[in-house]
Each structure stands twice: as C-alpha cells, then as structure tokens.
Amino acid sequence: MISYLYIIILLIEVINTSTYLLPASKCPREDSLRKCLDQHIKGTVNYRDDFFSYNTDLNVEYNQRIIYFPVAFVRPIDVIDVQNTIKCGAKLNYPIVARSGGHSSESYSLGDRDCYLVIDLITLNEVTVDITSQTAIIGTGNTLNPLYYAINQYEFAFPGGLCPHVGVGGHIMGGGMGLIARRFGYASDSILDAQIVLANGTVVNNVKEHPELLWAIRGAGNAGYGIVTSLTLRIYPIPKTVAYHSFTYDMNQIPSLISVINQLGYNLHQNLTFATAIFESQVHVNGIYLGPVDELQLHMQEFIKLSKPKSVSYIEDDLYNVILYDSGSASNHSDFKIKSFYIDSTGLSDEGVNYLMKFVERFKCKIGVDFSLIGGGVDKFRRNETAYVHRGFLYHLKLKAFTPTEECLQDLGMFSQNFQRKYTSYESYQNHIDRQLDNWQCRYYGENFGRLVEIKRKYDPYNLFRWNQSISTNTRISCY
C-alpha cells in the first residue's frame, strides 16, 4: 500500500515536471564567465551541463508558455555573492536578471531571450519578525507562504496576494493585491526599507537613506533598479480569527451581480475585501472580513439581498488557514496569458459587462475572469506618493487564458485592446506583465514614469538590468 502511494506521488511529481531539450550551442564568452563565477561565487551555480539541476531550475518558472535558457543560475548565499555575480556578468557583458519566485507572467525572471545570467535568490530565505516595531525583514528568496506563516503565529498580517508560492521579490515590489487590501493597502505600500545591490556592485543596506530609490522600489522595484536582497515590511495586528465567505451565482446572474458590486462596493467596510471569479461556468464571490462571521453577515446583508446568491457559506478561522483554503491546491506549473484592467469608481457599465461576457462565451480556449474589489485602504496614498500609481479605482479585472493557442492569443489581444479603449481605464497592473501591451510604460506607471526613468539613470546608468519591459534609461515616451 505504502509503495503504491509512493508511486502515485512520484507520478504526480513527474507530471508536474518538464524535461527540456537544451540548446547545444554555448553562450558567448561562456567559458570566461564560468571561470569568473567558479572562482568568486560561494553559492551553487548551475550550468547547462549540470543537466538535472539546470532542468530543476527551469522547472521553477511557473509560466511554462515561455522558457529561455540562461547561461547559468547562480544561487548567492549572501550579498557578496550577488556583488561578485554582477561584477562577473558586467565585465563580460552578460545581461543579468533576478529571480525570486519565478511567477512572472512573461517569464522575465529568465530574461527576454537565451543566455541571461540569472541570480536566483532562493537561498536568501530568512524571515525575522519584530512584534514590538511591527516589522518583518525578509530575504527576497522567500515566497509569501513563510512570511504569512511566521507572522500569523503572532496574530499579524501582511497585505499580499493569495497564492502562497508567489515570490516576495517580484510580487511585493510590483504592487501585491490580496483579500485584505481594502484595509491595509497594496503590499508595496508596506515596504519600509530594503537592501539592494546596484549595477556598479555597491550594496545599499538601507534604501530609505535614498528616498527616491525607496519611492521607485515601492511599485517598480522589480523593473530594473538592482538586485534587492531583503525587504523590511510593515506588518499589522489582526484579530485571532477572521471570517471568510463564499457565495455562488449562475452565469446569467453576472450582469446583475456586477451592477450590485458597482452600487455597493465602494462603501463596504474596509475590513472586507472580496473577489469575483468566473471560471468554467461557475461564479464565486469569495472574501475575507477582519472580524467575526456575524459582523461579516451584517456588512453583506444588503449585498446578498440585491445580488441573490444561489448559495452562501462562511467559515471562521485564523487568517493563515483561510488563505490556504482560498488558494486551494495551487499547482507548480501553468501555461497562461494574462490581461489586466483597472475599472473606474463607477464600475464596468452594463454594456461593458455584456461585451466581456460575449467574448468569454465565444473564446475557444479556457479562460478565467477575476474582479478584485479595491478602494478603501489602497486609496490612502496619492498617485505619486510611491511608484505604484493605480489609485481611486473600484476594482481590478484580470483575464487569464489557459494553454492558449496562437489563435486564442490573437483573439485575446484584439479583444483586450478594444475593451480597454471602450470600457475601462487606461491603466494596467505591472505585476500581470504583458509583453504585447501597447504603451505599457504609461499604462503601468502613469505620470510616475518620467521620474522612474530619471532614477533609473542615476542608479543604473548603463542599463545593466534590462529586458523588454524594464524601465529604460533613454526614452522619448512621456506619460503626462
């Protein structure tokens, strides 16, 4: 029996793991680079000829739609290793990129073509919690899970996303939106300080001593300012148990459901955040309330009366368990394409909902639609207070196509362009990065883009950290 179980587990692992056909040719100056890294790096370095380790490293990348073959994966054990990797790479003219959790939707943590030098931060995985100052210091090799787990023990929370395997590096620095956002804001709003290794190899231990760099990291820290090795975060005391709700609806109720969200969403209690997910003809409205179930029911009374869910269920548990419950069994791999939209405070119009649902019905690949209610605490900040510009919206809308064919990718692209022009705001979320998005500089960073370019020029003047959608040092684009 045990051995059968073991075989089943092994099979699951095999299904979850890809084996790649590696390119036979070497990267330019590869031998010199290897010599430099072998001489100076204390941590592990995996090259293509370490087939199993290199293959395992490729498998970390969540979106298997795009895979590039880096020259090497370096796993620094400290900032000195990061400095030395940058020095070896810069000297031999190798493009360098950081990887935290590998969840970039365009696989940018492998660069934007073969032969990048990847600094995989996985070994920088310390988590230090200080309840007195209500802060946590985390290495950027962590995923959200160890952070949530560590602070939950003290009845503290951090306002990040729900998927526990997402890396803190990309996620927190590019925004970070979850089910306690309306109370505590975006994850990037809670970055207090950071340690970063710059393009010239200098370590900045306290980014807050460079206020403009701190400003940039809070929303664009994953867009090419340096390799961030740790983040100091504000954490928040929360009740010992919180309430979670899950309502279901029929597909034909979607127009009325969205109109109820438009009507009531903005004024709901800030301790309450929910998201509406539409997938495979099922409609769920799931949310968290920082307080007991009976209070949650009170706050949702009007919402339920008007939207008429087919079923309602509630649980009360500690926040950590509730997040695990909501995220379900998140798998390792996927093959997806994402489109992102912010919707103004009046909400998506009936016509917009209709246009969207018609598209979903005729779309030839699997697609998920997700409305995340925002407002509340995320609007405490002015648009230019941090690099994260998107404020004053009612919800964020995400479309996620699974294993899209070329035809589906084109269809999704065309639809999204029209939909954004006709029915949504101009802006999109940089953490759902999309290589095909036109004028992404202004959609991701708005009027903050110009200042981001200035700061980039100062801290990475030779554009060492560059890929298709990093902040450039030199541009004619202006977003005013």
Ligand X SMILES: *[C@@H]1O[C@H](CO)[C@@H](O)[C@H](O)[C@H]1NC(C)=O
Ligand Y SMILES: Cc1cc2nc3c(=O)[nH]c(=O)nc-3n(C[C@H](O)[C@H](O)[C@H](O)COP(=O)(O)OP(=O)(O)OC[C@H]3O[C@@H](n4cnc5c(N)ncnc54)[C@H](O)[C@@H]3O)c2cc1C
Task: Give me the residues that bind ligand X (CB under 6 A), please.
Answer: 12-13, 16, 112-113, 165, 183, 198, 200, 202, 238-239, 271, 290-291, 295, 332, 382, 384, 435, 458-459, 468
Encoding tokens for residue 229? 């090795």
Give the nearer residue to ligand X in terms of CB position, either 91 or 364: 91
Residue 184 binds ligand Y, judged by CB under 6 A: no
DSSP-assigned beta bridge partners for residue 268 = none
Binding mask 221-260 for ligand Y (x = CB under 6 A): -x----xx--------------------------------
Q: How many residues does the chain have?
A: 480
Asked if residues 472 and 212 have their Cβ atoms less than 8 Å apart, the reply is: no
Encoding tokens for residue 208? 């807050």
Q: What minimum distance in Å lies between the beta carbon of 462 and ligand X?
A: 11
DSSP-assigned beta bridge partners for residue 129 = 136
Sheet of strand 282-289: strand arrangement: 311-317, 242-249, 282-289, 272-279, 366-373, 395-402, 336-343
Q: What minimum distance in Å lies between the beta carbon of 295 and ligand Y?
A: 24
Q: What minimum distance in Å lies between the beta carbon of 103 and ligand X?
A: 9
Residue 464 binds ligand Y, judged by CB under 6 A: no
Out of ligand Y, ligand X, none, what residue 112 binds, judged by CB under 5 to 8 A for its kind, is ligand X
Out of ligand Y, ligand X, none, what residue 431 binds, judged by CB under 5 to 8 A for its kind, is ligand Y
Residue 108 binds ligand Y, judged by CB under 6 A: yes
CA 37, 38, 39, 42 torsion-angle sign: positive
DSSP-assigned beta bridge partners for residue 227 = 197
Out of ligand Y, ligand X, none, what residue 238 binds, judged by CB under 5 to 8 A for its kind, is ligand X
List helix spans (H) across 185-292. 211-220, 254-264
Tell how far CA 133 is from the center of its chain: 27
Q: Which of 103, 339, 390, 466 binds ligand Y (CB under 6 A)?
A: 103
Residue 195 binds ligand Y, judged by CB under 6 A: no
Residues numbered 50 to 69 that lie near ligand Y (CB under 6 A) are: 62
Q: Which of 43, 70, 169, 347 binds ligand Y (CB under 6 A)?
A: 169
Binding region for ligand Y (CB under 6 A) out of 10-18, 165-173, 199-207, 377-385:
165-173
Residue 100 binds ligand Y, judged by CB under 6 A: yes
Kind of pairing, strands 272-279 and 242-249?
Answer: unpaired
Residue from 234, 232, 217, 235 nearest 98 by CA: 217
Out of ligand X, ligand Y, none, what residue 271 binds, judged by CB under 5 to 8 A for its kind, is ligand X
Residue 177 binds ligand Y, judged by CB under 6 A: yes
Q: Decide: helix, strand or coil at residue 360.
A: helix
Q: How far apart are CA 307 and CA 312, in angstroms?
A: 12
**How many CA within 13 A on the CB side of residue 162?**
21
Out of ligand X, ligand Y, none, what residue 100 binds, judged by CB under 5 to 8 A for its kind, is ligand Y
Asked if residues 251 and 277 have their Cβ atoms less than 8 Å apart, the reply is: no
Residue 105 binds ligand Y, judged by CB under 6 A: yes
Out of ligand X, ligand Y, none, what residue 104 binds, judged by CB under 5 to 8 A for its kind, is ligand Y
DSSP label of 471: P
Would you tell me which residues interact with ligand Y (CB under 6 A)?
Answer: 62, 97-105, 108-109, 121, 140, 161-163, 166-167, 169-171, 174-178, 222, 227-228, 431-432
